[in-house]
């Protein structure tokens, strides 16, 4: 087992994401999601051989080029990859592509679904980061 390259953040919270995103006109949200994509690559790439595209590329370039389809595909793949890594590390937290489609897409019909998805995403990344900080 290899030691971790660095200690990853385990303090991602929905309320901080919302509050600081409002105060910084969305910049904090971009930073958090960029860190999620970078941290997931740090945690999982050596095991699954995949690389998640950086969030800024999706947000600033591919989102408008693909008329909004690229972010949907990106979130689906990100969620599935997080779910696979949670399972590989035997972390008892349910998260995956179904969480994205259920809460973020269908849940948008009730208004609070995307917030629940984001909470679950941040919590899943906290679990993965905590495991990585201990076991590498």
In a domain, 107, yes or no: yes
pLDDT of the residue at 1: 55
Please give the DSSP secondary-structure letter assigned to residue 68.
T
Asked if 88 contacts 47 with a C-beta cutoff of 8 angstroms, the reply is yes
In a domain, 79, yes or no: yes
For residue 68, give Cα distances in angstroms to 63, 75, 91, 99.
Answer: 5, 12, 32, 19
pLDDT of the residue at 110: 96
Distance CA 15, CA 90 (A): 27
pLDDT of the residue at 136: 84
Enclosing domain of residue 85: 14-135
The parts of the chain modelled with pLDDT lower than 50 are none
What the block records as the tokens of 63 is: 């989102």
How many distinct structural domains can be found in the chain? 1
Percent helix, percent strand, percent coil in the chain, to nearest 5: 75, 0, 25
pLDDT digits (tens, 9 = 90+) for 87-109: 999 999 999 999 999 999 999 99
pLDDT of the residue at 6: 78
In a domain, 19, yes or no: yes
What the block records as the tokens of 39 is: 């941290």
- Its pTM stands at 0.94
SS3 label, residue 66:
coil
Asked if 30 contacts 59 with a C-beta cutoff of 8 angstroms, the reply is yes
In a domain, 49, yes or no: yes
Distance CA 43, CA 38 (A): 9
In a domain, 7, yes or no: no
Neighbouring C-beta atoms of residue 3, cutoff 10 Å: 6
């Amino acid at each position: 087992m290899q030691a971790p390259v660095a200690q990853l953040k385990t303090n991602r919270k929905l309320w901080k994401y919302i509050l600081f995103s409002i105060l910084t006109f969305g910049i904090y949200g971009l930073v958090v999601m960029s860190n999620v994509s970078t941290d997931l690559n740090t945690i999982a790439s050596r095991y699954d051989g995949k690389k998640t595209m950086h969030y800024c590329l999706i947000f600033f370039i591919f989102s408008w080029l693909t008329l909004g389809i690229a972010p949907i595909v990106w979130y689906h793949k990100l969620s599935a990859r997080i779910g696979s890594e949670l399972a590989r590390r035997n972390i008892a937290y349910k998260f995956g592509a179904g969480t994205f489609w259920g809460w973020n897409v269908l849940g948008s019909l009730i208004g609070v679904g995307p917030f629940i998805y984001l909470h679950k995403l941040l919590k899943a990344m906290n679990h993965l980061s905590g495991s990585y900080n201990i076991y590498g």
